[in-house]
Amino acid sequence: MNLATSRSSANRVIPGFGLSLGFTIFYLALIVLVPLSAIFLKTFTMTWEAFWSAVTSERVMASYRLSFGAALIGAAINVVFGGIVAWVLVRYQFPGKRFVDALVDLPFALPTAVAGITLTALYSSNGWIGKYLEPLGIKIAFTPLGVVVALTFIGLPFVVRTVQPVLEDAERELEEAAASLGASPWQTFTRVILPGIVPALLTGFALAFARATGEYGSVVFIAGNMPMVSEITPLFIITKLEQYDYTGATAIAVVMLVVSFLLLLAINLLQAWTRKRAGK
């Protein structure tokens, strides 16, 4: 028993469970819990009437609808097209594959302000793409549609990089067995491949949504920031801070935090249920 314990201790790369757990809790508290607690503590200095008035005004509600709605739409688009990109990168060989694979990570590396300026230049009425779309009645820059485009752009890597390793580890033998039993390509995809990647797709969706709800730099330029039309909630929080309304800013931030947490919790529960079903 002592020999086994000594061997186990010798094989440890980092200190024991107690010290590692203590450091983990301390680090998470310092980086995550303390800043979030400060937001709630600042908000608690308001009366309930002042809080409710700050977070339910007509202009704020419009910004909620745009921020959360555009984030959900952008994440949903990325689930479909990000899944296709991941499939192509894993299952096919073609010239320039490494270059395409590197392009997926561009939204990670590109400063958000640069992304916003670039998208605005492309989709404005005189931009390379916008000048062809506007005669068709499609206006992207300075509209809610522009917000969706920006949030889709910054969320793509989360879905691709989450689904890609799952597809790489998928057993091709199951697909071959399904085909040998007479399954069509569509049946093979929906009954063999899709159930295995649904948890990864949900994870990518959750990550893309979480990033999109708080995105500021890539959206503020292309949105146009028109109140009640294309004003996102993060910009409204910045406006409150510039007006030295710190409690109003933290009140809106608390609402965004709570709603985002509830949505992510629902997605995680759905993901756990999907994995449980897939394991049966």
What is the per-residue pLDDT across 198-241, written as a single tens digit (0 to 9) for each? 888 988 998 899 889 988 888 988 988 888 888 999 988 998 98
| pLDDT single digits (tens) 241-276 | 888 999 999 999 999 989 888 888 888 787 777 777
User: So what CATH class is 48-279?
Assistant: mainly alpha
Please tell me the predicted confidence (pLDDT) of residue 22: 85
103 three-state secondary structure: helix
Written as one string, the DSSP assignment of 215-242 is: --HHHHHHH---TTTT--HHHHHHHHHH
Q: How confident is the model over 67-92, as a mean pLDDT?
A: 94
Nearest to 57 by CA among 222, 231, 261: 231
| Number of alpha helices (DSSP H) and beta strands (DSSP E) in the chain | 16, 0
Instruction: Quote the CA–CA distance of 5 and 3 in Å, as a whole number.
Output: 5
pTM as predicted: 0.85
When the pLDDT of each residue in the chain is averaged and rounded to a whole number, the result is 86
Please tell me the predicted confidence (pLDDT) of residue 12: 62
Percent of the chain with pLDDT over 90: 39
Please tell me the predicted confidence (pLDDT) of residue 11: 57
Please tell me the predicted confidence (pLDDT) of residue 75: 95
| pLDDT single digits (tens) 147-188 | 999 999 999 999 999 999 998 887 777 877 887 888 888 888
Domain segments of the chain as ranges: 14-44, 48-279
Please tell me the predicted confidence (pLDDT) of residue 227: 83
H or E segment to which residue 269 belongs: helix 246-279
